[in-house]
Structure formats: C-alpha cells, structure tokens
Structure 1
C-alpha cells in the first residue's frame, strides 16, 4: 500500500457513537468543500448506509457554527444504482429518499439530487452513458478534467468485499477511462446496474465506508490483513485512496480484526 494507510474507526454503538462521529466527519468535509467552491458534492451508495447517514445528519445541531448541515448547498449523486424504477424497492434512490430526503425538516431546505433517468431502464449501457453525461455537465467545465472530483464518496462494504457495484474479480475493476460503468451480470440481484468506476472512487477528496454488524467481520479481517483482501474492491479503494479513506465500523464488524484503530473523530 502506498503512502499512509486508511483510518479505521471502531465504535460501540451505531446510534450513540458511530452516527455522531460520522456527522462530525461529513460536516468537516461539507465545510471544507463550501470554502473551496460553495457547493458540497457527495456520492452515496445504498444498503444500510442511507439509514445510518440519516441518523447522523438529522440529529439536532449543537448550535456550533461548524455543526450546521447546509442541505441547500449539497449535490447528491449515486455511487451506484440499480436499473429499476425510482420507486422500486431495489432502488438506491428510493432508500435515500425514504431514509433521508423525505425526513429533512422544511426549514433545513433540500439538497439537489441526481437520480438515474428512468427512460433508459431497458438499456443499461445507455443509462450509464447518460449518467456520465450528467457528471460531465457538472464537473467538466473544462476539457482538461480527466475525472470528476467528488468532495466526499460514501460507501458500503458487501460480505464479498464489493463496493458500489464493483464486484470481486469482475472485468469492470480494470476499466480506467469511463466515469460511469454498466453491469448486466451482477452477482447480486438485480443484475443490471450502473456504477462509478474505481478510478473515480479513489479520486474523491475523501472516501468513507460505513460497515456494521458481525456479518462483516470475516471480510473486514480479509481486507485489512491479507494480500487476497487487498485485491477485493474495498481493498483496492484502500490501496488507491490511502489516508483519504476512513472506515466507520461498530465493534461486532471488527471482531478479530488486527489493524490499528482510532476511537473517535470528535
């Protein structure tokens, strides 16, 4: 692994410890981004992440200047999405909408959200192309932009070590040019999806994984301790992102994992 290793945080309780620390971390990235360019561009995945993120962001503010969620200045994109209608139970957008967007109090304002275009549900490659065009229109004001630079990318970790819709040993892991990729043979249903490419993910200013529960312990042990695990998609993000990467885990997810841990962001 080049440079400094990723940051691994371990918390006893998701609601009492992990979520407040995740809030602190996300708002640090928000505030830095707003200083840079007056907008906070975030890519999010699905799974259990939206619920944990909502717990973090919808908690009451301490009143401190740096503890204010500036939702109207957010732009939310999807690190991956399933080729299903936006109201389908498999949709990451539906997860984010129901867990977070629909629960934001009116006085906090709403982020700008970029879901997939349902017009292309029958053509997964066209859907990927269209989502990439959306990213180009926002990130590539100049032709010299090689990769979109997200201020923060929020990810999950599957029990097989996949993240986004980048799966172990899949040819998509070798794609280096496209920003958004299509997959028609996902090992997990539904089979048709789009996903950010690995180069886009590791290019993010900051990258954070949220991985909780005892079911993640064996794969996290593999990712953080073995050569084999370093080649899994999550391991490749660790290697490519180094100290830009932070893992927010609870104690059961890190049972038996031998890797230096941090106790708190706060």
Structure 2
C-alpha cells in the first residue's frame, strides 16, 4: 500500500510516533519505485515485481548500498486486521499456504479482500527470520482475534509469526487488549 494511502501502516506510524522516532522511520527502506506499486495503477504483475524487489534487496542491501543482505531484517513493524491478517497475508486466501511455506522473501498478492487487491508482502519464513518483530494493534475490533493469536490459533496468519532467533513484541491499546 502506498505510504500516502490512508491504509498505509508506515504512513500511520509516521503520524502518531513521537517526532524523535520519525527520522528512524524516514531512513527505513521501503519498496522503492518502480517496485512499490502505484495504488491507482492495476493490474500489474505482482509476482514479477516481488521477484525484482527481492533481487534488489539480495544484491544491494538497503537503498543507500551501505548494508548488505544477511538473510534477515533487523526490525519489522506489523499490524493485524480484525480477521487476523498481517503483512497482507489474509486467512483463506488462495495464496495463504504459499506465503507460509515459500523460500522467497517477497511474494505478490493478487487476491487481497481489502483494497488494493494487488500488493507485495513478505513471506512468514522471512518475517520469522527477523531479529525483532513488533505488532502494533489498536481497537476493540482486534480484541477477540488478538486473544486467538496469542493462543496460537493457526487459522490466523498473525499466529504464525514467531521469530526463530529473534524477539516478538506486542504494543496494544486498552481496547485491543480487552480479552487478555
């Protein structure tokens, strides 16, 4: 999702995080054009775009070329939808299993039930290779599913996030934590 779109988690975090933290986020590497899709231009070949972006990351590291790819990300910020989706990995999507088992880092999504229908995302194995993963969840519509995720109900993609050699943190507001 483009960072200027209202559904962009990056855009939302830039608005709500303390100003002292925004330079860190601004320096974060995003999917650069032409790899980051224009949300108004559909359809495009999401599989090809994901492969191109993965090749870029593996070859170059970050956008400044100062960090080489070592097979894991230092920090990932994730949200979670009221249906338990995370990172554009939706329950019951036709590609759900692929995103769970793929050796790819990035994959295309062409069947998102939430606009835009085409997106790029990371696979669960790539997410679980990260050194630090943080979920930021707000709102009472997340309370029931968040409890299920914590209880490891594997029908929800967010339940599959469990860093292998990393740390997992949850940041919740009171309504999202109401069922804990």
Give the shorter-chain TM-score range. 0.7 to 0.9
Structure 1 residue 126 and structure 2 residue 48: aligned?
A: yes
Partner of residue 234 from structure 1, selected from 144, 147, 158: 158
Equivalent residue number for residue 146 of structure 2: 220
Aligned pair partner of 1:161 in 53, 73, 84: 84
CA gap of 1:72–1:152, structure 2 versus 1, over 3 A, is closer
Question: What is the correspondence of 1:200-219 to structure 2 with a 5 Å cutoff?
Answer: 200-219=126-145
Partner of 1:51: 12
Aligned to 1:77, what secondary structure does the other structure show? coil
> Does the 8 Å CA contact 2:78/2:136 hold for their aligned counterparts?
yes
TM-score (ref. length: structure 2)? 0.74
Shift, 1:247, TM fit: 0.6
Are 2:55 and 1:136 equivalent residues in the alignment? no
Question: Residue 179 of structure 2 aligns with which residue?
Answer: 256
CA-to-partner distance for each residue in 1:136-159, whole Å, 9 max, x for gaps?
123499xxx7x7321110110011
Q: Which runs of 5+ in 2 are unaligned?
A: 1-6
Q: Normalising to structure 1: TM-score of the pair? A: 0.52
Distance 1:232 1:167 in 2: 8
CA distance in 2, matches of 1:148, 1:249: 29
SS of match in other structure, 1:75:
coil
CA distance in 2, matches of 1:72, 1:51: 11
CA-atom RMSD, angstroms?
Answer: 3.2
Which of the two has greater helix per residue? 1
The alpha-carbon deviation at position 241 of structure 1 amounts to 4.7
